[in-house]
Structure 1
Amino acid sequence: MAKHINLNDPEIMTAKDAALRWGKAPDYVRQVLRSNPDRFPEGSVRLFGRQLIVTREGMEVVTGHGEK
C-alpha cells in the first residue's frame, strides 16, 4: 500500500511561505535551489508546475536554524 501524505501538514509549505516563516526574502528557496540544489536533503523540495514546495526539514538544513 502506498504511503499517505497529508498535504495539510504544516511541515509542507510553499517556498514563499517557508522563506517568510524563516525570515528570508520571498525568492530565497528558488535562489538556493538554482545555485546549489545539493544543499536540500533528497525529497525535501519539489517543483509542482510553477510552484515550489519545501519541507521544514529542508528549510532547517539549508538555513542552519529552525523557524523564526
Structure 2
Amino acid sequence: MINLNSPDILTVQEAARIWGKNEAYVRTALKQSPDRFPNGSVRRFGKVILVTTQGMEAVI
C-alpha cells in the first residue's frame, strides 16, 4: 500500500522550493527527458504532477 502522507511524495511546487529550482525546471525536465526519472517516481493527475524525492534526486 502506498502512503500518501509520506514526506517523500511532493508536488512540483514543493519539490522546486525544496531543491531551490524554478517550478518550470521540474516540468521542463519531465517534458524533455522523462527517462531521467526512475520508474514510478513521477505521476501526472490532470494538471497536478507528483514527484518523489528519489525522482528529484535523479534529475538534479
Provide the TM-score with structure 2 as the length reference.
0.93
**Which runs of at least 4 in structure 1 moved beyond 3 Å after TM superposition?**
none
Match of 2:50 in 1: 53
* Structure with the larger helix share: 2
Which consecutive unaligned segments of at least 5 residues does structure 1 have?
A: 64-68
Q: Which structure exhibits the higher relative contact order, with contacts defined as CA atoms closer than 8 Å and separated by 6 or more residues?
A: 2
**What number of residue pairs does the alignment pair up?**
60
Percent identity, aligned pairs only, is 55
1:25 to 22, 32, 36: 22
**TM-score, length of structure 1 as denominator length:** 0.83
Partner Cα distance (1:34, 1:26) in 2: 13
Which residues of structure 2 form unaligned runs of 5+? none
CA radius of gyration, larger in: 1
